[in-house]
Amino acid sequence: MRIAVVGGGGREHALAYKIRESKLCSELFCLPGNAGTFKIAKNENISAEDIEAVVRFTKNKKIDLVVVGPENPLALGLVDELEKVGIKAFGPKKEAAKIEASKSFAKYIFEKYDIATARYRTFDNYDDAKKYVEKEGAPIVVKADGLAAGKGVTVAQSIDEALRALVEIFIDKKFKDAGKRVVIEEFLKGEEASFLVFSDSKNILPMIAAQDHKPVFDNDEGPNTGGMGAYAKAPIVDKQMEEYIIENVMKKAIEGLKKEGIEYKGVLYAGLMIDENKNPYVLEFNCRFGDPETQAILPLMESDIVEVFMASIEGTLSNNLIKWKDAYAVSVVAASGGYPGSYEKGKVIYGLEELERLEDVYAFHAGTALKQGEVVTNGGRVLNIVGVDKDFKQAQKKAYDAIKLVNFEGMHYRKDIGNKAYKWLR
């Protein structure tokens, strides 16, 4: 099969690596890809959000399967447009992608189909939102309704911080159309986990649970990012909780969407908050693979991922399609100086060749590019360094030993990715 991966981040490099392993893949393209995908696929300088150009390219190249990585092209209807010209695509259609593209729509689904979530209100103007925040007090969570690349959420510890977030959204229009409406939620205490499933709209196939680390600094301090690292499997999600999440979150969501006339095919990702009594609440749904969770999950998958993609599209998902290694993976993000604020690009990355010689270590490129034969930084999150081992401590050690081998000007990373797991490991 001729396969194209749409996107150019760490998630897409991990997807490309896994697709490359498939016996079904004869030729692989990445649109636009990065310096990492360049080694395993043919990069094409086409933006993931240029729907017309993606459709034109895949049609001209007679692509058999398109795998869409990021949420924006899904929300823009890329899968719908590809299907119109007879090209198979993995990912939800535009109407189904609303589960991520509109937080208020997701909350409507939670409420109507009895999926546990935080108490909330939605607002489309600053004055009413301000009054509500002042009445409710802090801590409180302010979310831009639309897609904001993982940066539209403020967990405000004070009323002033919440009001500043509202000013950014409504007055400064920091998130443009994504901030036309806000969702304001009660603050939930606990530990976060990510739970992803494949869906063919009838059947679901769970992946192993992961845990992301959003704040930029150690001990979950500093502003939220797109994710500074992840690990899988997350031991906070034991077998009993996994079964509960499948029945009471994922199946309810897929079936609820179907009752709304929406067929959900692709990956459904639940961002969960697990309280001290081990009750999971859904913070958000995403309509695609997580980033950076994918970089920790896929190295643990033993199955042929292309077979799973095709079964999702064709409505034939079954449990015997997927098998997991009895191991853990810890992924640490190396970020540009200044991230998640402003940062410079074009810094030469040193030490990548040494990583290639290491066993059970993966270097997934995120914000990288090739410039005059050198790999340089080209984004806020630059690399995902992953260690894999049967022993969690060794997986963590492999990731941190490996990340010390690479460097670029301004590089920073969290030193505590995975530490929360020790509380739950037996």
- Return the closest-CA partner of residue 293 out of 210, 416, 384: 210
234: confidence class by pLDDT, cuts 50, 70, 90 = very high
Q: What percent of the chain has pLDDT over 90?
A: 91
CA 383, CA 170: separation in Å to the nearest integer?
A: 33
| pLDDT (average), residues 290-306 | 97
DSSP 299: G
User: Does the pLDDT of residue 125 top 80, yes or no?
Assistant: yes
pLDDT of residue 416: 98
Read out DSSP for 302-326? -S-HHHHHHHHHHT---GGG--B-S
Within 13 Å and on the Cβ side, how many CA atoms surround 196?
24
| pLDDT (average), residues 406-411 | 98
pLDDT of residue 150: 65
| pLDDT (average), residues 381-408 | 98
CA 381, CA 336: separation in Å to the nearest integer?
A: 6
Interval 156-173: pLDDT, tens: 999 999 999 999 999 989
User: Does the pLDDT of residue 147 top 90, yes or no?
Assistant: no
Pairing of strands 65-68, 2-7: parallel
User: Does the pLDDT of residue 93 top 70, yes or no?
Assistant: yes
| pLDDT (average), residues 92-120 | 94
User: Does the pLDDT of residue 392 top 90, yes or no?
Assistant: yes
Q: Which domains does the chain have, with CATH numbers?
A: 2-91 (3.40.50.20), 192-320 (3.30.470.20), 328-423 (3.90.600.10)
Interval 199-220: pLDDT, tens: 999 999 999 999 999 999 999 9
Within 13 Å and on the Cβ side, how many CA atoms surround 67?
31
Q: Are 402 and 351 in contact (CB under 8 A)?
A: no
| pLDDT (average), residues 277-290 | 94
Q: Are 414 and 335 in contact (CB under 8 A)?
A: no
Residue 424, classed as helix, strand or coil, is coil
Rounded to 5, what percent of the chain is helix, strand, coil? 35, 30, 35
Q: Which helix (H) or strand (E) holds 182?
A: strand 182-186
| pLDDT (average), residues 412-421 | 98
User: Does the pLDDT of residue 367 top 90, yes or no?
Assistant: yes
Within 13 Å and on the Cβ side, how many CA atoms surround 148?
25
319: confidence class by pLDDT, cuts 50, 70, 90 = confident
pLDDT of residue 176: 87
Burial annotation 126-149 (CB, 10 A radius, 16+ → b, else e): eeebbebbeebebbbbbbbbbbbe
Q: Are 324 and 301 in contact (CB under 8 A)?
A: yes
- Return the closest-CA partner of residue 325 out of 247, 245, 386, 274: 386
> Token match 């309810």: residue?
252
pLDDT of residue 152: 83
pLDDT of residue 27: 98
**Dihedral Cα 281, 250, 193, 366, nearest 10 deg:** -130
